[in-house]
Each structure stands twice: as structure tokens, then as C-alpha cells.
Amino acid sequence: MARLSDIIEDFIKSLLKHSEGELQLQRNELAEYFECAPSQINYVLATRFSLDRGYYIESRRGGGGFIRIVQLDLDKDDYLLYLINSRIGKSISEQETKDIVTNIMEKGIISDREAAIIKIGLADKTILMPANLRGTIRANILKAMLVAILRARS
Amino acid sequence: MARLSDIIEDFIKSLLKHSEGELQLQRNELAEYFECAPSQINYVLATRFSLDRGYYIESRRGGGGFIRIVQLDLDKDDYLLYLINSRIGKSISEQETKDIVTNIMEKGIISDREAAIIKIGLADKTILMPANLRGTIRANILKAMLVAILRARS
DNA sequence: ATATAATAAAGGTCAAAGATAGTCAAAATA
DNA sequence: TATTTTGACTATCTTTGACCTTTATTATAT
């Protein structure tokens, strides 16, 4: 028996195909269509449309609320993708971050100013948290920012 | 399904475009035009034409009363300093951050891509910490990034 | 004519109700 | 055991309406 989550995944992917990699839908509507709990939609999004898999989710609550799924334009040997999926991991130090950011600047992927913004924002001095948390926070933010760069390129 | 508040927002913005950044209107008239409660106009003004978004509202009650919406045009460096030294403070929400960042983008202080990097990096979803810490972390990072922008320009 | 009181004509505030989406952990299933 | 499904509870955003405040105009008294 095919799992419902997989069916929903396929459904969303077929919608994405017909909409140029960007799609907006309503959680409750979709849940009703598949006769499942609304939170199952969140489960599908979290497990099948994660950053690691090349998707980015935005949403809004309240009247007229929605969920937007953006399919990132993935080039298999994209260096940014490697950073996001393999290099950065769960936690990263300030020095490693600086090295990575300087590197993508030198490659011409980001500007001097973008590099400066990211480096100062993710410095130890800026993230005033216990060291163990700091590395995690930094990794999450850095990965998210690289996604923004990936997205802005196409 | 489209939010009425967004429609009213767009309407006001199109009026502003044709009137050089300053506009006077009557609350009840507008409410009647959109068939909504007059207080919804206040809601739109408060959420879409806030200071953070670069607008200033004046009004007057009684006979001949009006609401005036002024699109602010500020000195870039002064505004950045104001944000860093007064506006942001110890903690700031995701929505306020988005408003501010969108505003400085519209003013030409940062690029689209820089705005996207900052907004995605400082989203609730990115900083996965208890809500109280999140606001503090965000405020510190945002201020640091604005400093980088201030330094990199001029 | 002048001061004052009543009325009308705006706009403001706030909280409740309505509309979505998110989280988390227990229960079910593979 | 790991993954999936469900549901109770939470968070956020929008819409509405009852009640409040301010300003202008008109009526009244002196």
C-alpha cells in the first residue's frame, strides 16, 4: 500500500512541473482533498521538500494564508549546493564560515559587500550565545543565506 | 481569497505613485468604496504603511477630517544609524525585520539580493530557538549587518 | 454680536470572532 | 524500531463592530 505521504509528495511535484518550479497552495484545502490531518501536509513538506532536497518553503497564516513551495534550480555540481548539503553540517565555526564566504566571494559568486554582511552577521561577537548553540545557529543561518543566493541567481 | 487588506494596500500605493509620495484621503469614503469596516483602513495603515515600511501618517477628525499618508525620504546614513542605535533595540520580530529590510531595499540602500539574504537568514524558521532568544539573536545580527552596510558604502 | 451648548461629522481604539498555518507528542503502522 | 498519521493545542493575521475622542458647525441664550 502506497503511503499517503508519498502520494501527496508526487501530487505536489506534478503541480510543480506545471508551474515552473514555484507553487502556492492552501494547507487545509490540500488536506481536505486527501482527507488527512492538515498537519500531515507539514510532515510531507518537512520530510520531502526540505532544503537538502532542493526546496524552499514560505508561508503565511491568517485570512488568505498560503504555503509557497519553491524548487531551487539545482545544478548537480553546484558548489553552493555542496556547501549546503555536505560541507556546512549541523554546526560550524566562525573561522570556517569566514573561509567559505571569502572563497565564494573570490569565485565571484557573491560581492564584497555581501561577503562583509554575512561575515559580520555570523561572527562570534555578534551571536552572543553559549558556544555550542552558536555554531548551530550559524550553520542554519549560513545555509539559509546560501539558499537565498542560489535562488537569486536564476 | 485574496486579502482585502492587500487590495487596499495596492490601491493606496497606486494613488501615491500618481501624487509624488504624498496623499490625502478620507477614511469613510475609502471604507465605503471597498465595502469594509472603517477600522479596516486603520488596520491597513498600521500594518502596511508603518514607519518601518517608510511611511508616515497624519490625520484629523471632525468635519473636513482626513488621513494623510506621506512616503518618507530619508538620508541613508542617518536612517541606518537610527536603525542601529534606536529602532532595533534588544529584540525584534521577524515581521519588523522584513519591513525594515524591504524598506531599505526600496530606498536603494541595499540590493534585492542583499535583502533576500538578510530576510531569509533572519526568519523564524532559520533561527530555530525559543521565541524569546530568537528575537535577541535576530536583533544582534541585524544590527551588525547594518553596520557592515554603513561601512561598505559612503 | 458673543459666548455657550448641542449636534454632526469626521477619525481612533480595542477586543472579539474568523481564518489560516505551525508544533509536538501520542498512536498507529510498516 | 523507524516512519507515518492524527489531533489537541498554539501562533499569527484579518475582519468586524461597539464604543470613544476630536473638530467643525449650528442653535440658543444673553
When comparing pLDDT for A72 and A67, which is higher?
A: A67
Q: Report whether pLDDT(A41) > 60.
A: yes
Chain B residues whose CB is inside 8 A of the A122 CB are: 141
**Best residue in B97, B120, B128 for a mutation probing chain A (most A CBs within 10 Å):** B120
- The pLDDT, as a whole number, for residue A153 is 65
**Best residue in B104, B117, B140, B143 for a mutation probing chain A (most A CBs within 10 Å):** B117
- The answer to whether domain B4-71 has CATH 3.90.1150.10 is no
Q: What is the pLDDT of residues B61-100, one digit of tens each?
A: 999 999 999 999 999 999 999 999 999 999 999 999 999 9
- Do residues B57 and B45 lie in contact, with contact meaning Cβ atoms separated by under 8 Å? yes
- The pLDDT, as a whole number, for residue B65 is 96
Q: What is the pLDDT of residues B111-127, one digit of tens each?
A: 999 999 999 999 999 99
Q: Report whether pLDDT(B3) > 90.
A: yes
Q: Report whether pLDDT(B154) > 80.
A: no
Q: Report whether pLDDT(A116) > 70.
A: yes
Between CA A147 and CA A145 the distance in angstroms is 5
Please tell me if residue A130 touches chain B, with a CB cutoff of 8 Å. Answer: no
Between CA B59 and CA B46 the distance in angstroms is 13
When comparing pLDDT for A86 and A15, which is higher?
A: A15
Tell me how close the Cα of A137 comes to any Cα of chain B, in angstroms: 6
- The pLDDT, as a whole number, for residue A23 is 96
Q: Cα A74–A55–A41 angle (5° rounding)?
A: 155
Q: Which nucleotide shows the minimum CA-to-C1' distance to residue A5? A: D4
Between CA A47 and CA A24 the distance in angstroms is 18
Domain locations in chain B as residue ranges: 4-71, 76-152
ipTM: 0.90
Q: Residue A117 corresponds to which cell in the numbers above?
A: 554582511
Please tell me if residue A25 touches chain B, with a CB cutoff of 8 Å. Answer: no
Name the percent of chain B lying above pLDDT 70: 98
Query: Which member of A112, A120, A140 has the closest CB to residue B144?
Result: A120
Q: Report whether pLDDT(B146) > 90.
A: yes
Interatomic separation, CA of residue A120 and C1' of nucleotide D23, rounded (Å): 52
Burial class (CB in 10 A: 0-12, 13-18, 19+), B141: buried
- The pLDDT, as a whole number, for residue A154 is 56
Q: What is the pLDDT of residues B31-60, one digit of tens each?
A: 999 999 999 999 999 999 999 999 999 999
Buried b or exposed e, range B72-84, using 16+ CB within 10 angstroms: eeeeeeebbeebb
- Asked if the Cβ–Cβ distance from B141 to A126 is below 8 Å, we say yes
